[in-house]
Structure 1
Amino acid sequence: MRLSRRTRLAGVALIAAGSLTLAACGGGSDDKSEGGGSTKSVITVYGTNPQNPMIPTATNEVGGGDPLDNLFSGLVAYNTDGSVTNDVAESIEPNKDSTVWTVKLKDGKKFTDGSAVTADSFVKAWNYGANPANKQLNNYFFYPIKGTDDVGNTVGGAKTVSGLKVIDDKSFTITLKSSESDFPLRLGYSAYFPVPDSAYDSAGKITKEYGNKPIGNGPYKLSKTGWEKNKQISLVPNPDYDGPHKAKNGGLTFKFFNSVDSAYTAVQSGTLDVLDQVPPSALTTFESDSAVKAYNEPGSSFSSFTIPERLAHFGKNEEGELRRAAISMAINRPEITKKIFNNARTPASDFTSPVLDGWTDKVTGNEVLKFNPEEAKAKWAEADKISKWSGKFQLAYNNDGAGNKEFSEAMANQIKNTLGIDAEPKAYPTFDELRTVVTDRTIKTPFRTGWQADYPSMLNYLGPIYATGAGSNDGDYSNKDFDKLIQDASAATGDDRYKLIGEAQAILMKDLPAIPLWYQNATAVTAKDLKGFVFNWKQKPDYYALTK
């Protein structure tokens, strides 16, 4: 079954009407937003300590991504439903075959240090992000641009991307390697944000100091206290911002907790306004909890776990293919989503999300995602004939994420009982700590992974995670046939694009660089006096619209 976005959103609206707790009346204030809440109230929201300094081209996780999305503005901004509207851009126009895009900027745009946002603010930042020598995690997002293959090469490498040309302060061109009809759709993602000249040192490197105190051009700027490591990040409205996401509140504070259960308790007690993920311990009760307002509707987040090919017995060969399939078929996804998540998760049938245009549950090879203990045992035994299994199967997870401990324990038990091997979870206290060992490739076990879309396209769930050399390819997977299909799909439209995406997913079903688990419902609780909460296409609240 293939669904259009319009069909899915209609379904979401019907479900939401029956499941959302309606907003209660807020308290009085001298300054009111359109929704009745105070424009002076600071909204406290759940967050996690960023893995890295908050540099747009180097941030690909939500701990840093959520604040960055509020500190910066891109050429376009995303509306609640995932459609785009111009923000810094006055226009983004293609040539006849959509290989060259001409960008013109609006007048008067400034960074919060007072410097002007110019064409060079974008082009210089993109050149920096595209250069492999700078080791930026979002490097992959610049690959469609002509000349990125030449930048930073050790032999005669270019210093800048040939496909990026500044025309004047207010305009530049982007030349792509091949036709890409919806290229502007991605330009609201943080990798494409502009960066001021003050971010760079004398050698042209963006400094760590800048990442710790980023200067942006978005709806908010850092407060005087800013990023207090392992505690919180405080933002205040940017008075000079006049784009589509102008703040309706008095600021945002991203507060960090040791566990999501602690964050839930903070919402109940009134010390946290927004928790955008409900812990399993509360899933059966949160919608009837009189201390909070509850939200529950279909979402876009995808959950998986990754088995790097460098691990013994899981290489890119027949043995590795058999063992990955066996592990996947040993997992009873419906049992976990029911017993642990109270059906607030849906077992996965692909590598993307059902809320996206062109999604289908008919993917070749996806029977490997079904619980089949007999077939799992048979494949494991066949792999043993190639190379006898020894050791322990461990699954790493971060303990500060909702449900990670519970599902990791349950899944390890299922694998252990089905395959008759020693399997157990391995806990890391925080997301930051897990991501550090994943990023530097020192982790020696499979590990929990997931994806929250950067822009609303199935390709965003595939290319950045599984393409050769992609910034979020944590398992270092590489398949040239897959890479080619993703490249061809980027240039195609309509059914042709969806057909190519289906073929690419069939390759993933065979290779299983990650084991798809489930799609996550968008669940949240907020303070009873909070107003303006809705889930956007990214399964996040529109932070700028929150008041109380």
Structure 2
Amino acid sequence: MIAVNGSEPQNPLVPSNTNENGGGRVVDRLFAGLRYIDNKGMLHDEVAQSIETTDQQHFLIRLKPGWTFSDGSKVTARSFVDAWNYGALITNAQLQSYTYSPIVGFTDVQADPPRAQTMSGLRVIDDLTFTVDLVAPTIDFRTRLAYAPFYPLPEVAFRDMAAFGQRPIGNGPYRFADGNAWQHDVQLTVVPNESYRGGRPPRNKGLTFVFYSSYDSAYSDLLSDNLDVLDTIPDSALTVFKADLGDRAVQAPTAQNQWIGIQPNVPHFSGEEGRLRAYAISMAIDREAIGQKIFRGSRVPARDYTSRVLPGYNGDLPGSQVLDFNPDEARRMWARANEIAPWSGRFEISYNADGGHQAWVDALANSIRNTLGIEAVGAPYPTFKQLRDKVVSRTVGTPFRYGWQGDYPTMLQFLEPGFLSTSETNDVEYRNPEYDRLIAAAEAAPTEQDSWRLVGEAQSVLLRDLPTIPIFDYINSAGYSKRVDNVTICWNGLADFENLELK
């Protein structure tokens, strides 16, 4: 068994309700979708035999025969259609429901109360064939089909979804280990799924995701070979991990970023006053210095809301100067905001203490305090789940650290969940019809180049409104023990779990 780092999943392990790192890394091991993404970010068909379209709007999908779930039940077209309909239906309150929004009939199942129980754009033809009709051409829909909310579910899941999420039955390369596989707040163990038929078969006998309260503890275990793979080296070890690990130290740019989100109910951060203060805060942060001092260059200043490793990235967008360290302009913006309403209180940045964030959040607070002359501090929550629960319930009450880790390799995947008006994961409640229109146009674009241009225009709108403050892009630092081999960090910053091997 190979021990890898993880964190307690926020929710039961239902693909359409899993939108955070701790749960996501497990769900992706347990399930196989129509397609999968390899460690370099390349797409491959998995359960799909073919995905045909002539217009990026109407799709005919055929499945490979012989696929089963780990309980022996068949994977059929209905396994996909039923799972997607469950995920989209408003009464099921799934966090990833927004991902089905391109499908015809989504607005009917999202109405309150729903006008239908299933999306009319999905139609089962036979056990191995179904069709998907979209509201409009969607240039990255075929790529999205590799994402967790589009995984299939067995019939047993719908009898008791809460119970199913505690011990899911999937069709992926792994299944839950026998016995007490999920020891909450401690660890979760998966073993190879003998019935898996796809292109990422495990080269190991199983994985134990060990849940750590701090990366420092995880790093200590790594050095003593009690942990085999750590995908995030703690700040405290960035100056020594290469010396400690030698050729077992790994660095690679990944599709991950770090943001500071500010919900509109935070005092002084709504309307024009809030926009000016967000500008001031952004320009008061010396991203370059903090990235070098705290992360030894493994974090680089963000230049947009996506990631520099993604196709179409543009680091010189109109409006990106708001991400420059500019103390004089920061103070001018803060003064203009004070003319609207004098500042009171202190600027707190909430973060989860179990994620290795204290040092850089404190450094951000120092930069803001030194530039603007206000009290600025980090505000820790013990766990990621506790912070996320506050963010999702809109009760966090302060700015908070969050970010995005690519689920599939397109810029739209970063921009739609976080900022579309219709997105359930729009944690800052951003609403701008101009932005929504540009994103829709990018999806309907005839070519990728046209889409990238429209994505740039949409990002310029975000940079103008600044609902969230981009901070860093990741150069991921990771390491592994003397017990394992064939360790690769994927495009999204996670280990290539299936290909890990014991020596």
TM-score with structure 2 length normalisation?
A: 0.97
Secondary structure of the residue aligned to 1:185 is helix
Q: What is aligned with 1:465? A: 418
Q: Following the alignment from structure 1 to structure 2, what is the Cα–Cα distance between the partners of residues 385 and 523?
A: 44
Match of 1:110 among 68, 78, 96: 68
Q: What is aligned with 1:429? A: 382
Match of 2:38 among 46, 66, 79: 79
Q: Does 2:215 match 1:270?
A: no
**Higher alpha-carbon deviation: 357-366 or 533-542:** 533-542
Q: Following the alignment from structure 1 to structure 2, what is the Cα–Cα distance between the partners of residues 328 and 470?
A: 24
Q: What is aligned with 1:524? A: 478
Contact 2:279–2:466 (8 Å) recurs in 1: yes
Amino acid at match of 2:146: G
Match runs of 1:144-183 below 5 Å? 144-154=102-112, 157-183=115-141
Deviations 1:301-350, CA, capped at 9 Å, x for gaps: 111110011212111x2111101100101111011001100111110111
Q: Does 2:358 match 1:405?
A: yes
Deviations 1:233-272, CA, capped at 9 Å, x for gaps: 1001001112101111000000011210100010100100
Q: What is aligned with 2:199? A: 244
Secondary structure of the residue aligned to 1:508 is helix
Detail structure 1 runs of 4+ shifted over 3 Å in the superposition. Answer: none
Q: Following the alignment from structure 1 to structure 2, what is the Cα–Cα distance between the partners of residues 123 and 297?
A: 37
Q: What is aligned with 2:29? A: 70
Q: CA deviation at 1:469?
A: 2.9
Contact 2:181–2:189 (8 Å) recurs in 1: yes
Q: Does 2:185 match 1:230?
A: yes
Q: Following the alignment from structure 1 to structure 2, what is the Cα–Cα distance between the partners of residues 182 and 416?
A: 42
Q: What is aligned with 2:292? A: 338
Q: CA deviation at 1:155?
A: 5.7
Q: Following the alignment from structure 1 to structure 2, what is the Cα–Cα distance between the partners of residues 290 and 521?
A: 18
Q: What is aligned with 2:263? A: 308
Task: Name stretches of at least 5 consecutive residues in structure 1 with no aligned partner.
Answer: 1-41
Q: Does 2:237 match 1:320?
A: no
Task: Name stretches of at least 5 consecutive residues in structure 2 with no aligned partner.
Answer: none
Contact 2:245–2:479 (8 Å) recurs in 1: no
Root-mean-square deviation (CA, aligned residues, Å) is 1.2
Match of 1:538 among 471, 492, 498: 492
Q: What is aligned with 2:316? A: 362
Q: What is aligned with 2:84? A: 126
Q: What is aligned with 2:406? A: 453
Q: Following the alignment from structure 2 to structure 1, what is the Cα–Cα distance between the partners of residues 289 and 391?
A: 28
Amino acid at match of 1:546: L
Q: Following the alignment from structure 1 to structure 2, what is the Cα–Cα distance between the partners of residues 156 and 447?
A: 33
CA change 1:281–1:156 in 2 (3 A) is closer
Amino acid at match of 1:97: D
Q: Following the alignment from structure 1 to structure 2, what is the Cα–Cα distance between the partners of residues 308 and 152?
A: 24
Q: CA deviation at 1:290?
A: 4.3
Amino acid at match of 2:351: Y
Amino acid at match of 1:221: R
Q: Following the alignment from structure 2 to structure 1, what is the Cα–Cα distance between the partners of residues 114 and 84?
A: 20
Q: Following the alignment from structure 1 to structure 2, what is the Cα–Cα distance between the partners of residues 266 and 258?
A: 13
| Aligned positions, number | 500
CA change 1:57–1:427 in 2 (3 A) is same
Q: What is aligned with 1:195? A: 153
Contact 1:223–1:235 (8 Å) recurs in 2: yes
Q: Does 2:169 match 1:215?
A: yes
Secondary structure of the residue aligned to 1:435 is helix
Amino acid at match of 2:430: Y
Deviations 1:164-220, CA, capped at 9 Å, x for gaps: 11111111101011112331111111111111111113xxxx521111111111000
TM-score with structure 1 length normalisation?
A: 0.90
**Higher alpha-carbon deviation: 364-373 or 174-183:** 174-183
Deviations 1:29-50, CA, capped at 9 Å, x for gaps: xxxxxxxxxxxxx111000000
Q: What is aligned with 1:39? A: none
Q: What is aligned with 2:9? A: 50
Q: CA deviation at 1:133?
A: 1.9
Q: What is aligned with 2:368? A: 415
Q: Following the alignment from structure 2 to structure 1, what is the Cα–Cα distance between the partners of residues 228 and 158?
A: 36
Q: Following the alignment from structure 1 to structure 2, what is the Cα–Cα distance between the partners of residues 182 and 389?
A: 44
Q: Does 2:240 match 1:285?
A: yes
Amino acid at match of 1:110: T
Contact 2:49–2:63 (8 Å) recurs in 1: yes
Contact 1:291–1:528 (8 Å) recurs in 2: no
Q: Does 2:458 match 1:504?
A: yes
Amino acid at match of 1:459: L
Contact 1:165–1:172 (8 Å) recurs in 2: yes
**Higher alpha-carbon deviation: 104-113 or 288-297:** 288-297
Identity %: 45
Match runs of 1:476-491 below 5 Å? 476-491=429-444
Match of 2:99 among 141, 150, 157: 141
Q: Following the alignment from structure 2 to structure 1, what is the Cα–Cα distance between the partners of residues 90 and 265?
A: 22
Deviations 1:93-148, CA, capped at 9 Å, x for gaps: 11x32211111111111111111111111111101111122111111110111110
Match of 1:391 among 322, 329, 345: 345
